């Protein structure tokens, strides 16, 4: 029996709560997931209530990958390849509650080294699907067996509801400042040139941004942020 006390990341949670709706939330939230909760990967999807029968309408609002070694398949790549649209949990979205996050059954086995927590919730005419992967030995806050995923999901939803005017909620908005600004520049260039056939200038920063988002190319960045 594991008697190690659960270490809750109170300071990280407080920072997220204080900065919900602002640009600073992205850095705070990333720190909470990686350093406070030991999360390896996470995604948040939004689906219009009137398009429940159209998995292609899933829009990715958040994609963060903190893994630096071989782990579960990159969720962003699975989403872009269309395989995530085959997720059996998608059939449960129509039952999403409006007043709390519902934890869904675990429906994917990831070789026992990882816990996957999936949650759904309805907010107005939008349904949200939140996925977290946590390496078992990194789960310092006991996220796989606590109410923390719902708390984190509610904090994320509050950020979306109260976003500052002009703040676009997309995967890039959750990156650290340098990565965020760099990816925004890459997207602007691709849109301006109407092409994704180029290599961003700062290769080290680009590769780091790709790893953090779980993507491999400019084309995937545009797809992930719905610029195509």
**Domain 10-171's class?**
alpha beta
CB count, 10 Å around CB of 21?
16
Is 90 exceeded by the pLDDT of residue 222?
yes
At residue 105 the predicted structure's pLDDT band, cuts being 50, 70 and 90, is low
Q: In whole angstroms, how large is the CA radius of gyration of the chain?
A: 17
**Closest CA relative to residue 170, chosen from 39, 64, 12:** 64
Question: Sorting pLDDT into bands at 50, 70 and 90, what band is 24?
Answer: very high
Q: Do 71 and 137 form a contact (C-beta atoms < 8 A)?
A: no
Domain ranges of the chain: 10-171, 176-224
Report the C-alpha gap between 57 and 54 in whole angstroms. Answer: 6
Average pLDDT, the chain: 84
pLDDT tier for residue 9 given thresholds of 50, 70 and 90 = confident
pLDDT, average across residues 117-136: 89
Give the pTM: 0.88
70 vs 32: CA distance, rounded Å: 22
**125 Cβ contact list (under 8 Å, min separation 6):** 48, 49, 50
pLDDT digits (tens, 9 = 90+) for 138-179: 555 556 556 788 989 999 999 999 999 999 999 999 998 999
Show the tokens assigned to 148.
Answer: 């923390």
Other CB atoms within a 10 A radius of the CB of residue 206 amount to 19
Q: Determine the average pLDDT of the residues in 95-102.
A: 93
């Amino acid at each position: 029996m594991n008697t190690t006390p659960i270490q809750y990341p109170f300071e990280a949670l407080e920072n997220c709560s204080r900065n919900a709706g602002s640009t600073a939330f992205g850095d705070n939230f990333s720190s909470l997931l990686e350093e406070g909760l030991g999360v390896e990967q996470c995604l948040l999807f939004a689906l219009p209530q009137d398009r429940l029968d159209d998995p292609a309408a899933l829009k990715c609002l958040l994609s963060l990958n903190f893994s630096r070694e071989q782990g579960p398949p990159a969720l962003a790549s699975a989403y872009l390849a269309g395989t995530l649209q085959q997720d059996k949990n998608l059939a449960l979205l129509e039952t999403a509650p409006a007043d709390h996050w519902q934890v869904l059954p675990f429906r994917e086995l990831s070789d026992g080294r990882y816990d996957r927590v999936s949650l759904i919730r309805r907010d107005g005419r939008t349904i949200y699907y939140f996925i977290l992967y946590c390496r078992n030995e990194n789960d310092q806050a006991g996220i796989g067996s606590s109410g923390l995923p719902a708390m984190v999901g509610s904090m994320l939803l509050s950020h979306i509801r109260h976003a500052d005017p002009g703040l676009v909620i997309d995967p890039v908005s959750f990156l650290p400042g340098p990565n965020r600004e760099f990816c925004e520049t890459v997207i602007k260039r691709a849109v301006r040139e109407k092409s994704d056939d180029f290599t961003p200038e700062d290769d080290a920063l680009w590769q780091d941004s790709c790893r953090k988002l779980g993507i491999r190319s400019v084309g995937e960045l545009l797809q992930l942020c719905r610029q195509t």
